[in-house]
């Protein structure tokens, strides 16, 4: 199995390190050809506006939409969650999102960089909380009926799945805990 990490902007290097530690073959994806070769994809945190523009500039937006429509397993964290959402509030006008998970997200809904915080996240079925790191994170303002909410923080979904797409508003690659990556690469 080859796991791609969208490497246009943001925290792609840290995801790569976690996957390498798990012994998973991880490759950086910057071109349509590279995207075509991967079996799974991580879309990292960073700046969703910049990543959206770079997807267009690199002719990746339509191939990504096609692969997502075909059920490519994908993990989107923070900005990655914004890109995979079905609606973005406070994006740039016309900011593209790919609708892999039917959530409406508000960019920077948890506040500015200086309001970053850590919070233990109780994930359904897990024995201990996951250490959530929130940095200018999106707030999920609503989730459609098809969305499985795997964890909430103060009643707000922060880890969701729909089909083969998983999104977190926090940064699992910054936690000293590889359970989310492990689970993502192991899920059917």
Catalytic residues: 78, 171, 173
Binds ligand GLN (CB under 6 A): choice among 97, 107, 153, 172: 107
Q: What is the CA radius of gyration of the chain?
A: 15
Nearer to ligand GLN, 25 or 57 (CB): 57
What are phi and psi for residue 57, nearest 5 degrees? -60, -30
Question: Per CB under 6 A, does 82 bind ligand GLN?
Answer: yes
Nearer to ligand GLN, 113 or 127 (CB): 113
Q: Kindly state the smallest distance separating residue 94's Cβ from ligand GLN, in Å.
A: 15
Q: Kindly state the smallest distance separating residue 66's Cβ from ligand GLN, in Å.
A: 23
The sign of the torsion formed by the CA atoms of 20, 45, 153, 99 equals: negative
Site for ligand GLN in 141-170 (CB under 6 A): none
Site for ligand GLN in 39-58 (CB under 6 A): 45-48
Q: Kindly state the smallest distance separating residue 134's Cβ from ligand GLN, in Å.
A: 8
Three-state secondary structure string covering 120-178: EECCCCCCCCEEEEECCCCEEEEECCCCEEEEEECCEEEEEEECCEEEECCCHHHCCCC
**Interface residues toward ligand GLN, by CB under 6 A:** 45-48, 78-79, 82, 107-108, 135-136
């Amino acid at each position: 199995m080859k796991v791609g990490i969208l490497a246009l902007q943001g925290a792609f290097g840290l995801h790569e390190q976690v996957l390498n530690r798990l012994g998973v073959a991880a490759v950086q994806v910057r071109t349509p050809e590279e995207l075509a070769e991967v079996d799974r994809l991580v879309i990292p945190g960073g700046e969703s506006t910049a990543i959206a523009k770079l997807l267009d500039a690199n002719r990746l937006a339509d191939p990504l939409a096609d692969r997502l429509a075909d059920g490519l397993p994908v993990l989107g964290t923070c900005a990655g969650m914004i890109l995979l959402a079905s609606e973005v509030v406070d994006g740039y006008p016309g900011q593209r999102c790919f609708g892999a998970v039917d959530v409406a997200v508000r960019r920077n809904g948890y506040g500015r960089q200086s309001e970053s915080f850590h919070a233990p996240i109780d994930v359904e079925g897990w024995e201990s909380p996951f250490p959530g790191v929130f940095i200018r994170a999106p707030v999920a303002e609503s989730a459609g009926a098809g969305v499985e909410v795997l964890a909430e923080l103060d009643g707000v979904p922060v880890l969701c799945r729909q089909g083969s797409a998983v999104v977190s508003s926090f940064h699992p690659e910054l936690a000293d805990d590889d359970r989310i990556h492990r689970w993502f690469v192991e899920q059917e």
